[in-house]
Amino acid sequence: MKQAGLTTSLDTNDGSEDRWAEDLLDTLKKVDVFLLNDYKVRRIARTKDLHLAMAKLCDRIPVLAVRMRSEGATAQRGGERARGSNDATTLPGQGQPYRALGL
């Protein structure tokens, strides 16, 4: 797919028992954009600190986008971070903060 110029994005389901964590980390090697919420990023990275969790996962993928409920979303590519608002008048819906980040 990459040879054809295509990208792969991934949004996980909730692994409430954390059984997907190791398999998921291997899968991330093939993902270009990882989309998830702040709860999941902390669980997958096994830390309560959001910034540390993002840094750990960004070692594996080019772009990480994290939805943070009413706070909007944040994305990281390498050492660069961007933040988008969750303005309900322009970005309705749970997943819409990603649009503010250009994703």
All structural domains of the chain, each given as residue ranges with its CATH number in brackets, are 2-100 (3.40.1190.20)
Does pTM top 0.75 for this prediction? Answer: no
Q: Are 60 and 78 in contact (CB under 8 A)?
A: no
| Separation of alpha carbons 9 and 34, rounded Å | 6
| Separation of alpha carbons 81 and 64, rounded Å | 9
Non-local (6+) Cβ contacts of 60 within 8 A are 25, 28, 29
- pLDDT tens digits for the chain (103 residues)? 667 888 888 877 766 666 665 678 788 888 898 988 898 899 888 899 998 999 988 888 899 989 887 778 888 888 888 887 765 434 344 444 455 455 5
Structural tokens at position 53? 């969790």
